[in-house]
Structure 1
Amino acid sequence: MKVSIGFNRHLEPDWLAQTASWVANGIEGQALKERIDSMLEPAFTSKVAKDKTRNLLFGIWNKLPKDMTSRFQGKGADLLIEHSEQHLVFHWGMMLSKYPFFAFVVGQIGKLTKLNDTFMYSQLEERVAEQYGDTSTIKRSMQFVVRTLMNLDVLRNPEQGVYGVSRPLKIESSEIKGWLVEAIMLSNQSSSRSLSSINDDSVWFPFEIFFDLSDVQTNKELEAHLQSSDIVVFM
């Protein structure tokens, strides 16, 4: 079965922020695509590259998978406007929820840097190849993810072949954390998950964050129940 990757270009933070702002102001569909095209025009000489970048930005902030509601991404755009100083959080949540390949790559980076804040690019490449195959397409897509993380100041590149993580961004807002819980459940395509496993997920490595019951309760789409010694979150 052919695996859909989708993450086929690198992205700049300004492009993500502007696209999200348009969505928050009700610009969607073809009108959004046209605005993204105009925004990207000065940065590209290749129409193919520009179109792929536009489609990825549109996919992150407007295109809806069958299991996602417009409410989720609309709330993400609204929260970004309200908390623009933490813009990374909302792009991260949208990319996790929409692109499983992105979620896998950043999850592996989180695992590699759990005990040491640097990793070898070859280590990441090996893990991604084990999951998705050792092809040129997969390698390019991984490069696009890593380049995007560099552009977002999530990763640094102190020496050739070696990457490190930047200082984590502290997240304290219960409303934001509740939305992120929803994002990770959409990413996993799961209707329930224990709160401890959400906290332990390695995809959160760019953030200093801890989810508790009150964070879940801020989101009307989520319910929490005590089962054995853990809290299980349902969507």
Structure 2
Amino acid sequence: MGKRHDSIGIKQAIRLEWMQKAANLILAGLDTKAIRQELHEFLAERKGNGSEGERSDQTRTFVVNSLMKIWAAPEQELLPFRDASLAFLQEHPSMALAVHWGMISAVYPFWFNVARQTGRLLALQDQVTQTQIINRLKEQYGDRQTVSRYARFVIRSFVAWGFLKDSKAKGCYEKANLVCITDVKMAILMLESAIMATPESKCSLGLLLNNPAFFPFQLPVMTGDLVSQCSERIDVVRYGLDDEFLTLKFN
């Protein structure tokens, strides 16, 4: 699972409505070739800032490739999670925000890590700057130019999704209102996405529920027993009296 966790990958801002379009095309039964063509046509005059206007073939291709990798053609090990997320999205369209968050986090752990550093900073202060987030990411990924550039795309996506708000100062952001997750199955899908975004493919339940990467959300209190009952893809391993670790089952 190393390649997925080491790569950065997100080369353009990803808007929520584009994610929904990709998911809808799969739910409509289109094959991957048709989905790719439909996405190219859909994005031909849609820019990352939400405005209409012609975009270059290169930037459009970056976005289409990302959307295909997230929803239409994820890695083999992610297919069961993708299928479960699609089924949940179809049954609960009002939960689209959380479903798409989980899917993009699993496919692109860089997204999850940008969220984690953002959440850590927001736990300490009311506002966070782009520079602060990027500096923390460089500690993890190294001082690569691509880290700065691609992190900006993710941060702008957070704003577009409604998770951050622009403050009066340029490059400075405030936390938006929390999205309350009350459906346990949705919450467990989000935990699963977080485990997939973690190189070790395991994490303690307590740390997961309090992971700063979930800063846009309020998750319900859950026990390991509840997770075991509701998920076929997560194992719960107990250490001592209180420690519960969640690990992924791989076929």
TM norm structure 2: 0.86
Q: Is the aligned partner of 1:134 residue 2:143?
A: yes
Does 1:218 find its partner at 2:218? Answer: no
Residue in structure 2 matching 1:201, options 188, 203, 211: 211
Q: Is the 8 A contact 2:204 2:246 kept in 1?
A: yes
Distance of 2:109 and 2:15 partners within structure 1:
20
Aligned-partner Cα distance in 1 for 2:17–2:247 = 34
Give the conservation status (yes or no) of the 8 Å contact 2:15–2:161: yes
- 2:49 aligns with none
Instruction: Please point out which of 49, 59, 77 is paired with 1:67.
Output: 77
- Counterpart position of 1:192: 202
Task: For 1:113-128, list aligned pairs within 5 A.
Answer: 113-128=122-137
Consecutive unaligned residues of structure 1, counting only runs of 5 or more, are none
What SS does the corresponding residue of 1:114 show, helix, strand or coil? Answer: helix
Give the structure 2 partner of residue 4 of structure 1: 7
- 2:19 is the alignment partner of 1:16: yes
* Partners of 2:112 and 2:10 in 1: CA distance: 11
The residue aligned with 1:97 is 106
Deviation at 1:88, TM superposition (A): 1.3
Q: 1: distance between equivalents of 2:245 and 2:146?
A: 38
User: Partners in 2 of 1:28 and 1:131 — Cα distance?
Assistant: 37
TM-aligned CA distance change 1:227 to 1:141, over 3 Å: same
Give 1:211 shift: 4.5
How many angstroms does 1:191 deviate by?
4.2
Further displaced range: 73-82 or 184-193: 184-193
Paired-residue identity, % = 24
Q: In structure 1, what is the equivalent of residue 116 of structure 2? A: 107
Aligned to 1:40: 43
Q: What does residue 55 of structure 1 align with?
A: 65
> What SS does the aligned partner of 1:167 have?
coil
Distance 1:79 1:117 in 2: 34
- 1:110 CA displacement: 0.7
Give the gaps of 5 or more residues in structure 2: 47-53
After superposition, the Cα gap between the structure-2 partners of 1:17 and 1:225, relative to the gap in structure 1 and judged at 3 Å, is same
Between the aligned partners of 2:137 and 2:204, the Cα distance in structure 1 is 26
Tell me what 1:162 maps to.
172
Aligned to 1:29, which of 32, 36, 57?
A: 32
Distance (whole Å) between structure 1 residues aligned to residue 201 and residue 18 of structure 2: 32
Q: What is the CA-CA distance between 1:92 and the residue it aligns to? A: 0.8
Deviations 1:120-174 (A, max 9, x none): 2221121122222334322110110011111101110112231111111000111
1:175 is matched with 185
SS of the residue aligned with 1:224?
Answer: strand
User: Counterpart of 2:8 in 1: which secondary structure?
Assistant: coil
8 A Cα contact 2:163 2:176, kept in partner:
yes
Matched, 1:86 2:89: no
Answer yes or no: is the 8 Å Cα contact 2:68–2:74 preserved in 1: no
Please report the RMSD computed on the Cα atoms of aligned residues, expressed in angstroms: 1.9
| Equivalent residues of 2:164, 2:173 under 8 A apart | yes
Partner Cα distance (2:237, 2:151) in 1 = 37
For 1:101 and 1:5, how far apart are their aligned partners in 2?
5
Give the TM-score normalised by the residue count of structure 1: 0.91
Q: Secondary structure at the match of 2:77?
A: coil
8 Å CA contact 1:21, 1:77 repeated in 2 = no
* Distance in 1 (alpha carbons) for counterparts of 2:237 and 2:146: 42
